[in-house]
Each structure stands twice: as C-alpha cells, then as structure tokens.
Structure 1
C-alpha cells in the first residue's frame, strides 16, 4: 500500500473499523484496509512516535516528540480535540483500558507521564531514567519499560505508584520493542544487536536470548496463535517466535531494509509493516528516504514458507 513521504514510527490497527494508523513526522497516516482508497493524513504533529486508539472514544492519542506534547485527534476528521504538555521527547505509550489511564514514556526526560483520559490531564509524573523506549503493561498494573541507554527493563507498580528494581538484560544492547504475553507471564524484548530477550515478568528474571535480525523496533504479539513477530530493519526480515514453553524462532520471513515496526489484525493474522527505500549512505545512522518510496507491506505469516 503506497503512502505519503516522510519518517515513520509505530503503528496501530483498530479492529472495530479495520483502519491502520501510522505515526509520521508531521501527521498520522490513516489507511482504510477494507477498500483500496488512498490513505489520508490526520492532524498536525511534530515528529510522531506512538499512535493509539482510545477506549470509549472516537479519538487517537499521539505522542509528538519534538514539542513534548500528547495530541488527541478525532479519527474521522483529524481535528485536534486536545493537547497536553508532557516530559521531554515523548515516545512509546500504553493504555490501561480498565482504569482509563495512559502512560507516556518521555525518552530524553526519563519520566513517565500518567494521563487521566477522562479529564485529559497529567495526574502524576514518575521519575525513571533517560533512554525510555516501548512499554508493556503486565498483571496487576505493573508497567515494564525498555531502557535503551541502560540495557534494562524499568518497572513501575502503577497501583502503588512505586518504582521497583529494574531487570538487567544480559547480552541485549539497545532494547526497543517490548511485548507482554499474559498466558505465559513473559516479556519479549527486541534488542538492536540482533537478540530477543525472554524474561519472566513474575520472577523478574531473564530466561534466555534468541538470535534475530538487527535493528528491530517493535514486538508484535499474536496471543491467539501463540506467536510474536519482530520486524528487523537492519537486514530486512520478520522473525516469527513461538510462545510455547520453550520460545524459539520458527521463521525468518524476508521483508525490506528499514522495515522495523508494524501492527497486526488479530482476526486474520495479517501484519502491516511500514517501509521505504533509503539512499545508501555508509556510516549515517538515519540515511535519507528516497522520495515516493514509502509503502506498507502486508504479510500473512501462515502463507509464508
């Protein structure tokens, strides 16, 4: 699926409407996957990172990194319905639907902004460490957050608003994507050095490492089919991981260089992976995108060898 030029980050799939939303540099790209219509752009943001559908609302929550705000956008019109200031460089976010609370990871600030979604106000700020990446909510309101600077997972008991001892990730450099599997009570953390760390959430212990591709930025959980997927942008592969008692890499599905995040329609198992082509520039961390090359890959892992 083609789309407008510009940087891209996290994505989310709304199963109630079959719309795919992707956080972009200056807006949200909205795909209606039920038809072949062109995508539309929603709102105005300053370096979008996370985009999430709000419970009991027709709005999206978007983290806007360069101006340290969270924006609320109407899904249909793209009209901004609210804006609040948070910590420095908001990146990943998670929502506790039962409590109607959002948690926003402020990467450079090293804090978590706790947002009451009813009033759309910051109700508390939790101080952690700079380098915060993607979060995952576990049992009983425990918030786990990857820290790419410290190579560890920060832990917050959100019910008691208490910071707990972090989990060191041995052999994992630059953890970014993170997912929590409730059935096994385990976390999967994607590491920039080509490893996936498996962690017992209850025991707070690392159980092992799996070999994956390089430069991942997301872990996409398929709890129904007992799998997790890690898009690895460094070498262009999608790694399928079994969530069985002994996790293992089942498949390495070819994608494209730069394909590092995505979202899933859990009803069908299809994955939507933002991608683009880039100028070959050795030694440059973020090479420029080739104009007109942004697109979304659609992959059904069950149809891949």
Structure 2
C-alpha cells in the first residue's frame, strides 16, 4: 500500500533549522514526465496493487496480477519477472539477506525470492489473503496483513518461518512501521487504526479515524509522529501517532490507495483510483496545506516515490465499460483492458 526516508538539514540552530525545513519550497508544478508500456499480464487479466521502489538498485517492483514485474526506474525497461503466482499484492525487500517477499493473496502465502537472481527460493503459508507486507527493522521480522482471516502473520526472514499470528480485530489494510518497533495499521471495516508492538507481537491501542472511513492508504512522518490515513469516503485524515487524535482532514478523490510522505520536502502525496494525485505540504506538524491536485489517469491509485529525483510513479491501464450489475456485484466497476498496463512518471 509503502519506506523510511532521511531528513538532511544544513543550517544553524536546530530549532531554526526545523522551522525552515517545514516552511521550505512548497513543491507545486508536478506533471506527467513520461510513460512506459509494460505489456499484458500473464493470462490476460489485468490487475495491479502495491509498487515498491528500491533506491540502491533504482528498480521498481510492480505487482501485476500473477507476476511481479521488475522495471528500471530511469528507463522503463523490464529487467525481470517473478511469475506463476496467483494474485500478487505487495513486495517487501530485505536487502541484507538478499531476499524479497511477495504477498500472494490468491495462494494464501508469501513467496520468497532471491533479489539478485530474481528466482523463487521458497513458499511460506500465511493467513488468508495476505495483502500489505512490510519489513520491520527493530524486530527484524516481515509482517503480512491478512484480509480474509483478519490477522497478521509474523515471519522470520532468516528462516522463512511464521513465528507468530496476531489477531487484528478486523480486516487489516495498509501498514507502516516507525523503524523503532511500532507498526500502525488501518483496520478498514472497523474505521480504526491499531498500534502493534513488533517486539512483543501485541496490539497496544485502537484509535477511531472519524470523520474518515474505510481507510486503506497510510504513511507516516516518523520525526513528528504524524500518521496519514486515506479513507475511501474521500477524506484524508492526519493523526497524532502518540495520542490517536485526528488533527486535520482534507477532501480527496474516490478510491484512495496510496499515501507517501517525503521528509526532505515535507510533501505528502495521495493517489486515487479516480485519477487524482493530491499534494499537501507540512507547514508545521499541526498544520498542513493543500499544494495542488494533479490530474493523472483513471485507475492510477498505487504509487511509489523516488527520493533522489522526487518523482512519483503510478501505474494503470485503459478501462472498458462496467459489466451489468448482478446480485453478487450490484455496483460493478469499469474493467481494465488486457495489454494496456503502463507506468506513468510525474515530476517537476
């Protein structure tokens, strides 16, 4: 649904430096730089979810139905693929072990692969429909948020074994780690955020996200302890990660799926299925302001950030008309057209 980033400030006294950082350039003027056609999904059915950007290799790991596409961020060249999966959601990288971990929701498992060889090395059974997947550095564990069984699977990446299963009290969605042992996760069907201590595998708090609802996207300003919660009722909520208090909200487009905070610029990016990229600025930890709303393309709800170039990557496809309503699907959505999957790059 997302990576710790470093604040670098070269200025005088610390208090002044902090205020200058947040009051810096506001970062408007984002527009489409280029786009790359990435070809059809295996089997012909288009589906995509999380994007993971790896700064050292400058590669994007892109979920694409039954495969993970690995793409050079600077050229759009496809350099590899991990195929023969069921329904890919997310990709977490553990570089010091040379491993990557894929949440395959269709198989109720995590697929392990070698980062250099791009070859599958193992399969780990998890709870039902593992969706969001993250590596938490304090515990040195990988966590999957399982949407079918309403729990989290805790994996030791050194042994590729599940070491704990944590009941989440509802359907877990996007999660973010603070790097110090705490994980914050959206519980979509309960309209709340839970705090999970990754060192003890226990839930510590449950906080309502009202007036936001059905939260999917999440990211965090670790330094100032602010959570960014994207609700499917078209509201972005900014929450104090120490108290759970919602301190500000903004209207956003329909179908939010990604929030990305960039510490170096104080910018917050929110991508929606409607085809909008909302950009906000952290003026102070208690006051954010809207910078601009960039029109992208319908379906471009998943995103990743390149911290070097400050560019945003989103993926989507062409869409055909929605099918006729049925009892099982009373509100069908437009269907993506096979073979039109593409990567869009936005920058200034």
1:223 matched to which residue of 2? Answer: 263
Q: What secondary structure does 2:256 align onto? A: coil
Task: Return the match for 1:201 from 241, 248, 252.
Answer: 241
Q: Which has the higher contact order (CA 8 A, sep 6+)?
A: 2
1:57 aligns with 2:92: no
1:97 matched to which residue of 2? Answer: 137
1:240 matched to which residue of 2? Answer: 279
Please show how residues 111-260 of structure 1 align to structure 2 within 5 Å. Answer: 111-138=151-178, 140-234=180-274, 236-245=275-284, 246-260=287-301
Q: What secondary structure does 1:296 align onto? A: strand
Q: Which whole-Å CA distance do the structure 2 matches of 1:109 and 1:205 have between them? A: 28
Q: Which whole-Å CA distance do the structure 1 matches of 2:140 and 2:87 have between them? A: 25
RMSD in angstroms over aligned alpha carbons? 1.7
Q: Go from structure 1 to structure 2 and tell me whether the alpha carbon gap of 1:254 and 1:61 turns closer, same or farther (over 3 Å shift).
A: same
For the pair shown, the structure with the greater C-alpha radius of gyration is: 2
2:316 matched to which residue of 1? Answer: 275
Offset of residue 76 of structure 1: 4.0
* 4+ residue runs over 4 A deviation: none
Structure 1, unmatched stretches of 5+, are: none
Number of paired residues? 300
Q: Which whole-Å CA distance do the structure 2 matches of 1:221 and 1:196 have between them? A: 13
1:176-203 CA-partner distances (Å, limit 9, x unpaired): 0101111210000111111101100011
1:105–1:113 Cα contact (<8 Å) kept: yes
Offset of residue 35 of structure 1: 3.4
Q: Go from structure 1 to structure 2 and tell me whether the alpha carbon gap of 1:44 and 1:78 turns closer, same or farther (over 3 Å shift).
A: farther
Give TM-score scaled by structure 2 length.
0.82
Q: What secondary structure does 1:219 align onto? A: strand
2:137–2:179 Cα contact (<8 Å) kept: no
Offset of residue 139 of structure 1: 6.2
1:200–1:207 Cα contact (<8 Å) kept: yes
Q: Go from structure 1 to structure 2 and tell me whether the alpha carbon gap of 1:36 and 1:90 turns closer, same or farther (over 3 Å shift).
A: closer
Offset of residue 77 of structure 1: 3.5
1:82 matched to which residue of 2? Answer: 122
2:150 matched to which residue of 1? Answer: 110
1:199-248 CA-partner distances (Å, limit 9, x unpaired): 000112111211111111011121111111111112x1100111232012
1:2 matched to which residue of 2? Answer: 37
Task: Return the match for 1:261 from 259, 284, 302.
Answer: 302
Structure 2, unmatched stretches of 5+, are: 1-35, 41-45, 326-330
Q: Which whole-Å CA distance do the structure 1 matches of 2:306 and 2:123 have between them? A: 29
2:138–2:181 Cα contact (<8 Å) kept: no
